Amino acid sequence: MPCRPRLVLALPASVLERLHRETARPLAQAALRRRIEDPGLVPTVGPFAAACALIRAEIARAREPIASAGIPQQ
């Protein structure tokens, strides 16, 4: 299943790839990385497909506990 959030369904894959590259670029700056790491976060940059896979895995992992808690799907 491709990672295509509803908001960007109309955008071509090349545009999504460029958006990913351009938003990942600032993480190469040491000052910004330190600001992200200081509170204990781990900045990670990888291929767009890897980000999609991570999102899909997190959704799958959270599905059962959310259903068990009776939280309605929105």
pLDDT computed for residue 44 by the predictor:
81
Q: Is the alpha carbon torsion for 22, 27, 31, 37 positive or negative?
A: positive
Angstrom distance (rounded) from CA 69 to CA 71? 6
pLDDT computed for residue 31 by the predictor:
93
Whether the per-residue pLDDT at 18 is higher than 60: the answer is yes
The pTM of this model reads 0.49
Tell me which residue of 7, 34, 33 sits closest to 19, measured CA to CA: 7
Q: Which residues contact 1 (CB under 8 A, 6 or more apart)?
A: 56
pLDDT computed for residue 65 by the predictor:
92
Task: Please compute the mean of the pLDDT values over residues 45-49 and round it to a whole number.
Answer: 75
